[in-house]
Structures are given as structure tokens and as C-alpha cells.
Amino acid sequence: MNIQDKTMVEAVNLALHHAMGADERVVCLGEDIGVNGGVFRATVDLQQRFGEQRVMDTPLAETLIAGSAIGMAATGLRPVMEIQFMGFIFPAFEQLITHAARLRNRTRGRMQCPLVVRAPFGGGIHAPEHHSESTEALLAHIPGIRVVIPSSPRRAYGLLLSAIDDPDPVVFLEPKRLYRIQKQPLADDGERLPLDTCFTLRQGSDITLISWGASVRETLLAADRLQEQNISAEVIDVATVSPIDIETLCQSVARTGRCLIVHEACRSGGIGADIAAQLSEQVFDCLQAPIQRVTGFDTPMPYFRQEQWYLADPEDIVHAAVSVVHYQ
């Protein structure tokens, strides 16, 4: 087996090559994904290998991309559409909410919508306005749509293959801050990773740190620093933020008795708030301290000179975790 070190964006590209090579029903469409290989090169060489009939450059029209992909999915194909940046996805919401999310329910199961929506998201690359959104909670609130967020090259490869296999629409959000920050050994073996499942990245006994997407990196760094203070932190990557694998989270928090949730998106009405509410409902008797959150702010992502003040760093997480552990 040929194993090579891959970045996350290379892992996404590898998964797309694998899926398209294995199943001729898989097609890709989006802005600049063909000739140019995508704005981040996630689709590089796909059109050269599979042709213009399966890797389609589209106009700058997200509603058209989503509507076309839904039509393809409803008639037997497995489209993977790319939204160039998450901040551009809003024109496609009408198609995703009104049609993609409802097709199975509307037809009482007679029709499916095996559609994957890929979108780079989040801040940290000094991008202009509308290029750094982290609005996963908006999508997670839509019944009928699954929302998946990888946090490493291996999980990007395995989760994207599972998303393409899924018979229902999956929004696959790729933290672009992680696209090229890390390499992992990766074999193009087609191994899928399970959707709707959290991944425990680090065992611990004093506090549970819950995160997803790019914030997982800072959370793991914080766990290392907490260990230097003799605080043992368990780190869980939620990975699928809708539906949430709440059972795994409850088991961890019931064991540690303390919980800190870390995410990049704004604080109010977010997935962190929902996780905190569910944990309070299900393992309240086990909690030894109030559940805390380290999040972004209820503002648009600032321009690059102030971006660092919006994003939580390991020190922010360590400070909050210590306060939870020493709560009395």
C-alpha cells in the first residue's frame, strides 16, 4: 500500500479522485473547479482525468449550482458541488432548505438526494469580507441536512468518502485554516470513517474539552499545556455537528465531571450552546462545575489586522479550562 504524507486539501482531492474512479455516478460542479482545480486546488487534475462531463465549471451562481446538483441527485447521480467560500452559500439556501433537505420527506421515501456540498469555511487566512464565515449552526438547524466538519487530513479523506456514499444531503465544511498546516500519512485505500460519530482524540480524567473544525488544533495544544499543570484533559472532536453524537459526549462528561466547549463560530444560538443544554439535561447530576464555552464573538469576522483577537488561542482555552477545573 502506497502511503504518503498529505495535507487536508490534498486529502480532499485524493478522496474525490477515489470516489470518482470507483463510481461513475459521482460528478463535481462548481466555480473554477475544473480548468483551475479550485481556488484552493482541492479539485486539481479531476477534470483532466475524468473529463468535462463529470467535472463541470459553472457560472458564478450558487443558486444555479445547488439547483443543478439537486436535480442530478434526484435522477441518479451523486453530485459533489463546491461553494467557493462559505460566505457565498446563502443564495443557495433556498434550494438546500426547500428542496434538498425535504426531498425524502416530501416523497415519503420514494426519492433520495445523495448530494454533497463542499465549502471552505472559517477564519485565519487573512481573507476579505464574506470569506471567513463560520455559520455551521444555520445549516445544522435544518432538518434533513447532515453537517460534517473534518479536523485532520485522515478525517477529511474518510469522512468525505462516507459523505459521498450517504443517500441524503451532506454539507461538508472544510476548515481552510487547516488546509495546509498539517500533514499525516495517508493511504488511498478507500477506508471510510463513520458519520454521526465523535472522535476522542485524547484521553483524560479532569475535564472534557469539546471542539470541532479548526478549533480542534488549538484545543489539543491547550490540552498539552494543561498537562504541564497536572490537569488531565480529554479532547473530543465532534466531527458531525448535525446530528450530534451526544451519547459519547455524555459518557465523557459523566466521567470527568467538567466540560469546556470550544468553537470558532459566534457565541449566541450556536452548536456549543445546544451541546451545553443537552449535557445539562442528561448528565447534570455528574457535573462538578458549570459548563463553559470559549467561542467567537457575535460580530462578523473582522478584517485580517484584528482577526487574531476574534479567534481563540490555546492560552484562552487553558485559562477557561483552569477556571472550570478549580471551580468551587
Q: Select which of 131, 263, 319, 326 is catalytic.
A: 131
CA distance 101 to 113: 8
Q: For domain 199-326, give its CATH number from 3.40.220.10, 3.40.50.300, 3.40.50.920, 3.90.1150.30.
A: 3.40.50.920
Query: Where are the chain's structural domains?
Result: 3-187, 199-326
For the chain, the straight-line distance linking the first and the last C-alpha, in angstroms and rounded, comes to 53
Please give the CATH topology (third level) of the domain spanning 3-187.
Answer: Rossmann fold (3.40.50)
CA distance 117 to 155: 17
Q: Residues 134, 123: contact at Cβ < 8 Å? A: yes
Q: Which residues lie closer than 8 Å to 28 by C-beta, 6 or more apart? A: 16, 20, 43, 46, 54, 55, 56, 79, 80, 81, 82
Determine the longest span between alpha carbons in the chain, in angstroms.
63
Please report the pLDDT score of residue 133 as a whole number: 87
Q: Is 263 a catalytic residue?
A: no
CA distances from 273 to 72, 164, 269 (A): 36, 29, 6
Residue 29: beta bridge partners? 56, 81
Could you tell me the pTM of the whole model? 0.96
Q: Which residues lie closer than 8 Å to 12 by C-beta, 6 or more apart? A: 42, 118, 156, 157, 160, 174
Q: Residues 214, 40: contact at Cβ < 8 Å? A: no
Please report the pLDDT score of residue 261 as a whole number: 98
Domains 3-187 and 199-326 share a fold: yes
Please report the pLDDT score of residue 57 as a whole number: 98
CA distance 123 to 135: 11
pLDDT tens per residue, the chain (328 residues)?
688 999 999 999 999 999 999 999 999 999 999 999 999 999 999 999 999 999 999 999 999 999 999 999 999 999 999 999 999 999 999 999 999 999 999 999 999 999 999 999 998 888 888 888 899 999 999 999 999 999 999 999 999 999 999 999 999 999 999 999 999 999 999 999 999 999 999 999 999 999 999 999 999 999 999 999 999 999 999 999 999 999 999 999 999 999 999 999 999 999 999 999 999 999 999 999 999 999 999 999 888 888 888 999 999 999 999 999 999 8
Q: What is the signed CA dihedral for 252, 201, 234, 237, rounded to 10 degrees?
A: -60
